[in-house]
Structure formats: structure tokens, C-alpha cells
Chains A and B, each alone.
Chain A
């Protein structure tokens, strides 16, 4: 091809496929790198020994009638304060994964307070499972997470409830939100869920993202009845007022397990971030 400056360039024709021996070698290396990255980003569910023992077949599947998942610090704090505060819950497993923001790769149980994805089972009613997820699950790991978690459970007769936090800045509405009741709950459910949700449905054009969306999509595809309660809040960290917004979910939870009547204010404050006595930004 002639150009304006006199030099001649050879151009490749897209009609003819070139021999690409060199590109094959590169592809192998690329493939190896890709495989290594995939392995590194694999999601593993670690079930603890007492659970794996109680399951007969090699493929570890737990009998589960109700799965409650909490995603985010406020949802997890709510479960810790209102449900997990009784002594009747056993830690039965955790998820280990690696991504840029979460390094919970240890096969050992995570330390309390560390961001992690933990599973608990009720002692008196072992088919009730609870999952608290405070670590970040990357987009490419979401499908694996949902697949593996639900793959470990016998799906027959399974009901799922998801509690998730979201910043109110992401809530899109034509109305003026200033001064209205923040935090508030919105719900979404799968088609198989026949009961009434406990709060208004999430209006368009709002969408869910992340782990709650992956779980709900999985439930919709596999026709598992699932309901999700999304709490929109204007506080960054765990906060007692936001945690109390999830209280309507207690009515459904109390049908499954015996709950403490009401946790004391001190108990709630333990799960909330230390209030901003140290922060002099606002007076």
C-alpha cells in the first residue's frame, strides 16, 4: 500500500488465513497463565470435619430446608445480634477464595472479625443454615460461589432468604429522598416464592449486583423459592439503626428457630462500628 510519505507498507489480507506457528507457542503460555489465574481464583467451600462426618456419601451434600444469607456488614451484624447470639449455632464451614480485595485463602477457619464467608447450622434444627458474608466476592467468582454453595445442599424443599446492604446513593428514584426515612428495605423474590414479602418490592430501574444477585439468579433458574431484602442506608460501616431495619425479617426467622426476645443496646453496639467520638469532622 502506498502512503503519503512514499514508503510502502505491506498489508495483510483478511481473506487469507496466515500460518501462525509462532502464535501457537504464545497461546500455550497464555493458556498456562490463564489456567494458573483460574486456579488461584477458584472458590473453595471448606466444610468442617463434624459436618463431613455426618454426611454419608462422598459427595458432601447437606440436608437443608432453609438457607439465610447475609451479605454486608449490617446484614451480618443483624444476624449476629438477633439470631446468632444464642448458643445454639455451630460453625460448619467457610468459603476460601482469593481476589484483589479479599485474601481469605486459608483453609483454616477465619478469625472472628476478619472479613470472611462463614456458615452456621442450628443445633436443634440442623436443616437451618445461615451464611454471613463480609468479604468481597469478585464478579468472575460469583457464579462459582453460588454453584458450589448450592451444589453442597440438597435442593429439595429449600427456601432461601437473603439480606443485603446497599448505599442509598445507588437508589434511583424520581422522588426527592432527602428527609425521607433512610434506612429502608426493599424486596425481590424468585418466581417460586409464593409468600408475601415483608416490605415493598424494589422499583425499576434499580438493580441488584454482586453476591445477592448471583444467589437470586441461581434460585430463579433452579426454581428455588427465594426472597431478598435489600436495605438502603446512608452510613458507611455497620450501624445499629441500619441493623434494626432488618427486624421485619425476624417474623419469618422466628418460625424457624427460637430467637432471643430482643438484644440489649450493648449487644447491638458491639457489632456496630465504634461511633464517631473520635471523628471531629462534623460538629
Chain B
């Protein structure tokens, strides 16, 4: 039974579980869905916008954050934890630019974020960060990347992935419909991300926020992109 081994994070259970880390992954599932797709010349992040209170300024409720001009991140899980991690990552990106005079590579900043997260799974008196994140961007040589980090501090590169509430359903959709040759076309990449999100987003397309980055261009956040592409998707 998990009960006696899940209080302290630094304690393994007899069968090798770190229950606090596993519970942190449950916290991730409480956040709304985010999907990321990597094309040949474009990377796309799509998120389900959560419903906000009427009087709340929706510009302050952001699931997609820019870490630097060439890297951005979408998270799922505890909002406050994400804010802390994103702030540290942004400082690191600038520090890297000042020291090395080059922007970070996507893998570097992913590794940095993952190291922070891992440190918090091995310290006394702290709890893990309750967020998973999808980090996308281009390196200075033009290679696109998509990485996913987890509360345990692991990170992996993906061609397409989803995190958050119905991540399993979305991932199954992506596995079924991802085609390597389609990734050459920017439109197909965007369509795949939107269609994957539409599998699980409630009340249609008005609750989707999309962020697109093309090679050599800065990130564009498209709030109502659905209206531009809806006709094409309906035709498919």
C-alpha cells in the first residue's frame, strides 16, 4: 500500500516507486490539454484554453510562454509552478546569450529545465514541480525540435506529443494520423495539431489557442486560427 511511502519525497518504496513524483504526474493531468507537432520547417503548439471567469483578464492566463525568440513552451499542471520554472528558464536563456553570445539550443534549455525539476525530486523538504511541458523551437542552424519534460526531470524528443487532461486520447490520434511526408507541408502540420486538439476540446474550436513558429520567423500566437483553417479541415 502506498500510504506509508508517499509522505516524504526522498523515500523510495520497497518496490522502487517515488510516489510523490508519480502523484505529481497526476497533478499534470488536471491541467488542460496541450499538443505539439514538429514539422520540417515549422513547429506548432496547440493548447486548450481553459474557461476563465467573466471579470478575469484573459491576457494574463497564458499556457504558451516564450522563453526566447527561438524557443517557446506550453505547460500543463500547476500554474504557479509553471511560472517559477518559466522565469528561471528565461533568465537562463538571457544569461546564455550574454555569456556565449549565441541563443540557446532547444535541447540546452530543455536540459536546464529538466535539471531543475530533477533537483526538486531529490531534496528534502521540497516537492516536485507539478508540471509537464512541451518545448519547441529552432536551433541557430535551423533544425526544429520538440521536447517534452516531466515532473520527474526526464526529457525526451518527440515528433508529436500531447500533455495534460486527455493526453492519451490525443496521443493515440497523433499516432494514427501522423505521416512523415505530410510534415513537409506547413499547412498539414498545423492541421494535424488542430485536429488532434479537436478530439478532446469541449465546445468546438473557440477554445483553442495556437502558436506557430516557422524557420527564420518569430513566433506567432494565433487566437482564432480556427476560423482560417476550419474550411480546409471540414473538407478533409
Contact count band on B:
20 to 34
List the B residue with the shortest CB-CB distance to A277.
Answer: B51
User: In the bound complex, do residue B78 and residue A281 qualify as a contact, i.e. CB atoms below 8 Å apart?
Assistant: yes
**Assembly CA distance A222 to B192 (angstroms):** 61
Select A283's contact among B26, B63, B168, beta carbons within 8 Å. B63
User: In the bound complex, do residue A283 and residue B61 qualify as a contact, i.e. CB atoms below 8 Å apart?
Assistant: yes
- Asked if B41 lies at the interface with its beta carbon under 8 angstroms from chain A, I say no
Q: Binding site of A, secondary structure by majority: helix, strand, loop or mixed?
A: loop
List the A residue with the shortest CB-CB distance to B75.
Answer: A283
- Asked if A172 lies at the interface with its beta carbon under 8 angstroms from chain B, I say yes
**Assembly CA distance A283 to B47 (angstroms):** 10
Of B27-35, B147-155, B217-225, the segment with at least 4 beta carbons within 8 Å of chain A is B27-35
List the B residue with the shortest CB-CB distance to A280.
Answer: B79
- Asked if B53 lies at the interface with its beta carbon under 8 angstroms from chain A, I say yes
Select B76's contact among A172, A179, A283, beta carbons within 8 Å. A283
User: In the bound complex, do residue A275 and residue B51 qualify as a contact, i.e. CB atoms below 8 Å apart?
Assistant: yes
A/B pair count, beta carbons within 8 Å: 34
User: In the bound complex, do residue A282 and residue B27 qualify as a contact, i.e. CB atoms below 8 Å apart?
Assistant: yes
User: In the bound complex, do residue A178 and residue B79 qualify as a contact, i.e. CB atoms below 8 Å apart?
Assistant: no
- Asked if B70 lies at the interface with its beta carbon under 8 angstroms from chain A, I say no
Residues of A within 8 A of B51 (CB): 275, 277
Residues of B within 8 A of A283 (CB): 31-32, 50, 61, 63, 75-77, 79, 82
User: In the bound complex, do residue B26 and residue A178 qualify as a contact, i.e. CB atoms below 8 Å apart?
Assistant: yes
Contacts A172-B1, A178-B25, A178-B26 given: A282-B53 contact, CB under 8 Å? no
**Assembly CA distance A172 to B1 (angstroms):** 7
User: In the bound complex, do residue B26 and residue A282 qualify as a contact, i.e. CB atoms below 8 Å apart?
Assistant: no
Residues of B within 8 A of A280 (CB): 61, 79
- Asked if B235 lies at the interface with its beta carbon under 8 angstroms from chain A, I say no
Q: List 10 A-B contacts (CB under 8 A).
A: A178-B22, A179-B168, A277-B53, A280-B79, A281-B30, A281-B79, A282-B30, A283-B50, A283-B76, A283-B82
Query: Closest 3 interchain pairs by CB?
Result: A282-B30, A283-B79, A282-B31
Given contacts A277-B51, A277-B53, A283-B50, 15 further A-B contacts (CB under 8 A): A178-B22, A178-B26, A179-B168, A278-B53, A280-B61, A280-B79, A281-B30, A281-B78, A281-B80, A282-B30, A282-B77, A282-B78, A283-B61, A283-B63, A283-B76
